[in-house]
Amino acid sequence: MEAVKNLLKPKPNPQQQLRDWQRRLRQECRHIERQIRDVQREEKNVQKAIRDSAKRNDMVSAKALAKELVRSRRAVERLYENKAQLNSISMHLGESVATARTVGHLSKSAEVMKLVNNLMKAPEVAATMQEFSKEMTKVTDFSLNLAYL
């Protein structure tokens, strides 16, 4: 069944694939942000529980809660690192597609330049320019002669 779907479904172009990948990466970033907010909300509850246990002089549970607080802060740091890596991946994807697009444009412009060169026929243009230069020299000499008269 999956093979039939793959045959009927056209392959997405690179631009569409990039959009899909970046959309998924942004979704993951939002999911990570939600996790960070949830952990930080729980941290506040743990801090309150630590204060309450310290007021009751229950240092054993206060220490255990403090260790849990440290673990949760490490988890938040790892989540921030993961989010940064996802953003980095997204930027690299965009950069690689932009580079590929630039290469495509450069190859097209190279083809156009090649066609223009073939149409121009450089030796003939050079000969025409030399003739034009000679004619301009004659006109300049003639105008100088007229100026002396």
Among 107, 102, 104, 95, smallest CA distance to 18 is for 95
Question: Which pLDDT does position 5 carry in this prediction?
Answer: 64
Question: Which pLDDT does position 38 carry in this prediction?
Answer: 96
Question: Which pLDDT does position 39 carry in this prediction?
Answer: 95
Question: Which pLDDT does position 149 carry in this prediction?
Answer: 58
Question: Which pLDDT does position 146 carry in this prediction?
Answer: 65
Question: Which pLDDT does position 7 carry in this prediction?
Answer: 66
Question: Which pLDDT does position 4 carry in this prediction?
Answer: 63
Question: Which pLDDT does position 65 carry in this prediction?
Answer: 94
Look at the chain and count its residues. Answer: 149
Residue by residue, pLDDT tens for the chain (149 residues) are 566 666 677 777 777 888 898 999 999 999 999 999 999 999 999 999 999 999 999 999 999 999 999 999 999 999 999 999 999 999 998 898 888 889 888 888 888 888 887 777 777 878 888 898 888 888 777 776 666 65
Question: Which pLDDT does position 14 carry in this prediction?
Answer: 74
To the nearest 10°, report the CA torsion of 89, 91, 96, 97.
120
Q: Any idea where the domains of the chain sit in the sequence?
A: 2-109
